[in-house]
């Protein structure tokens, strides 16, 4: 009886989550990825002659950092739209007609969504344990890292639940989740670093205690660190987010009263869609070209958000450009990938969102009965994405291009100094920055087209975004990294073995990163081209069939299973 009254939603949600195919597939993919990476390190250690201790340490660091990134992304894809989706469907209010509390609902969602992440981490731990046998990793490091990864997963899921409890729109909930995670993970360490520089003293963690990334770093760092205070503080912060989400859910599931909507609706509507004159001008300008493009560009806050990200990147870039310190450019190259990750997530989310919302709101049925064919609808969405992301993305990529040039030049100078040689005369840094720029542009184009296809065949935007990022970026990146590193290593070290001169060692030490970057860029361009061609072909040839199938499935799900069919009454002819 106690099991039926205490947390009743938890048992049901866990049973439903355990039966899902995605739960099994996440565990299988995590185990296979860990095995592939481990096999790659073993092959490289045997081919190059690296000691097992160094190989074990490198394998442990690679797997744990990848697991940290996956754990922090779990809340973005699993819980950020868990409660807001039920708000939009109108099913969350039925739960509060009973004696259920907010923590019942939020706790059920937390445990159900954490099942996939916990299974993936459990599949990863046996491969991590092999590094204990290889050497270079202590038992204390292994268990501390394991606790730090579980803590990061819990913090990410709690952040997604808080954002989902406060928001109703899926994309807005994902944006709030990203903001919470960025503030928690890197906000505190950045503030503590600035304070240390201003005091001209050593780094002293204060706000960093709430960062799961700092806890992860402290777990693997040598010497005395504030690991346990950081673990307790970040875990307490996650529980505070969970409690706040439990408090918000019973108060935010219902629609706003009409008086509140009238009082604030005009201002919010004007900020979201623009003023009356701007809306009329936009409609007159875009409707004749493509009505789908006008529908996708009605909400102007999407492009405003991208411009805000571009501004946050441009300001520190200008400050660093005036000082030109070499070490700062190297640090820039290490953290600038966060900007690309946020841009990729935003692009994939927006590419998936339009078709998912069109199926949910009934707009897809209206589009299918118009004279527009599938190609016109897809081209309208494509042009809307270009107008939305074109200029700010170009600015971000140009800043990234310039920063890559400066960081590569500084890195090559340091490598040449360490190797005891001179910097190469050929401008390899310019070639490396150009290949990185081409790869980023190709990734964005492929994300847009493949994201549109995932939005057409998926039931919600979070699942569509997860599939887009996973199939287009994460899994191919693992394969490309393995193939490019193995190929570049074998080529360089076979050349070094055949030469056998000290000067060739310096040349190999400098040319290995260049060969690796070239192979990675070539494989990335080939991958993006394949995804672009396949998604474009599927969208042009199967759009109406897939849209009609999604509409039929959604219509069938609205009918209660087993409900008797009620025949229509017979038509009685009029008496003449």
In the chain, where are the structural domains located? 7-255, 287-556
For residue 12, CA distances in Å to 3, 16, 113, 277, 530 come to 11, 6, 12, 51, 41
* Phi, psi for residue 283 in degrees, rounded to 5: -65, -40
Q: Which pTM was predicted?
A: 0.79
Residue 543: pLDDT above 80?
Answer: yes
pLDDT tens readout for residues 395-454 = 888 887 877 777 766 665 555 555 555 555 446 667 777 888 888 899 999 999 999 999
Question: For the packed helices 475-499 and 502-558, what is the interaxial angle rounded to 10 degrees?
Answer: 170
pLDDT bin (cut points 50, 70, 90) of residue 57 is confident
In SS3 terms, 420-435 reads as CCCCCCCCHHHHHHHH
Cα–Cα distance for residue pair 320/323, rounded to 1 Å: 5
Cα–Cα distance for residue pair 532/534, rounded to 1 Å: 6
**Are the CB atoms for 450 and 385 separated by under 8 Å?**
no
pLDDT bin (cut points 50, 70, 90) of residue 532 is very high
pLDDT tens readout for residues 184-199 = 988 888 888 878 877 7
Which residues does 252 contact at the CB level (< 8 Å), separation at least 6? 87, 165, 166, 168
DSSP 304: H
**Per-residue pLDDT, 358:** 87
pLDDT tens readout for residues 264-305 = 556 666 666 666 777 777 777 777 777 888 888 777 666 777
């Amino acid at each position: 009886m106690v099991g039926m009254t205490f947390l009743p939603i938890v048992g049901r949600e866990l049973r439903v989550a355990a039966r899902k195919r995605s739960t099994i597939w996440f565990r299988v993919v995590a185990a296979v990825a860990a095995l592939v990476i481990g096999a790659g390190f073993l092959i490289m250690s045997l081919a190059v002659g690296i000691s097992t201790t160094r190989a074990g340490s490198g394998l442990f660091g690679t797997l744990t950092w990848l697991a940290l990134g996956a754990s922090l992304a779990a809340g973005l894809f699993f819980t950020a739209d868990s409660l807001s989706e039920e708000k939009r469907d109108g099913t969350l209010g039925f739960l509060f007609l009973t004696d259920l509390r907010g923590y019942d609902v939020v706790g059920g969602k937390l445990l159900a969504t954490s099942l996939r992440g916990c299974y993936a981490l459990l599949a990863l731990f046996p491969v991590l344990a092999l590094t204990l046998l290889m050497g270079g990793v202590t038992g204390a490091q292994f268990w501390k890292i394991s606790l730090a990864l579980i803590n990061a997963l819990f913090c990410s899921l709690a952040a997604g639940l808080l954002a989902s409890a406060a928001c109703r729109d899926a994309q807005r909930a994902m944006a709030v989740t990203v903001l919470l995670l960025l503030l928690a993970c890197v906000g505190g360490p950045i503030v503590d670093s600035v304070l240390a520089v201003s005091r001209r003293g050593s780094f002293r963690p204060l706000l960093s205690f709430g960062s799961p990334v700092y806890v992860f770093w402290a777990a693997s760092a040598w010497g005395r660190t504030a690991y346990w205070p950081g673990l307790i503080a970040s875990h307490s912060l996650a529980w505070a987010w969970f409690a706040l989400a439990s408090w918000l859910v019973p108060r935010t599931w219902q629609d706003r009263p009409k008086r509140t909507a009238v009082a604030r609706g005009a201002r919010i509507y004007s900020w979201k869609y623009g003023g009356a004159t701007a809306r009329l001008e936009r409609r007159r300008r875009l409707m004749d070209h493509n009505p789908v493009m006008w529908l996708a560009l009605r909400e102007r806050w999407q492009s405003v958000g991208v411009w805000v990200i571009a501004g946050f990147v441009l300001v520190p870039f200008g400050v660093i450009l005036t000082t030109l310190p070499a070490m700062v450019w190297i640090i820039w190259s290490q953290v600038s990938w966060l900007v690309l990750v946020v841009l990729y997530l935003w692009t994939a989310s927006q590419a998936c969102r339009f078709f998912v919302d069109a199926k949910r709101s009934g707009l897809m049925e209206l589009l299918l009965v118009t004279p527009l064919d599938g190609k016109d609808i897809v081209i309208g969405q494509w042009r809307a994405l270009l107008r939305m992301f074109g200029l700010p993305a170009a600015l971000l990529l140009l800043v990234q291009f310039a920063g890559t040039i400066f960081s590569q030049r500084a890195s090559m100078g340091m490598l040449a100094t360490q190797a005891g040689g001179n910097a190469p005369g050929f401008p390899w840094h310019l070639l490396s920055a150009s290949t990185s720029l081409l790869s980023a542009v190709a990734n964005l184009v492929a994300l847009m087209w493949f994201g549109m296809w995932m939005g057409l065949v998926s039931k919600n935007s979070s699942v569509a975004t997860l599939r887009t990022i996973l199939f287009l970026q994460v899994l191919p990146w693992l394969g490309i990294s393995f193939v490019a590193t193995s190929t570049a290593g074998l080529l360089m070290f076979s050349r070094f073995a055949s030469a056998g001169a000290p000067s060739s060692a310096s040349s190999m030490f400098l040319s290995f990163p260049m060969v690796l970057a070239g192979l990675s860029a070539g494989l990335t361009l080939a991958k993006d081209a394949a995804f672009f061609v396949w998604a474009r072909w599927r969208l042009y040839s199967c759009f109406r069939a897939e849209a009609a199938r999604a509409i039929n499935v959604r219509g069938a799900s609205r009918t209660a299973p087993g409900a008797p069919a009620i025949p229509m009454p017979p038509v009685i002819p009029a008496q003449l």
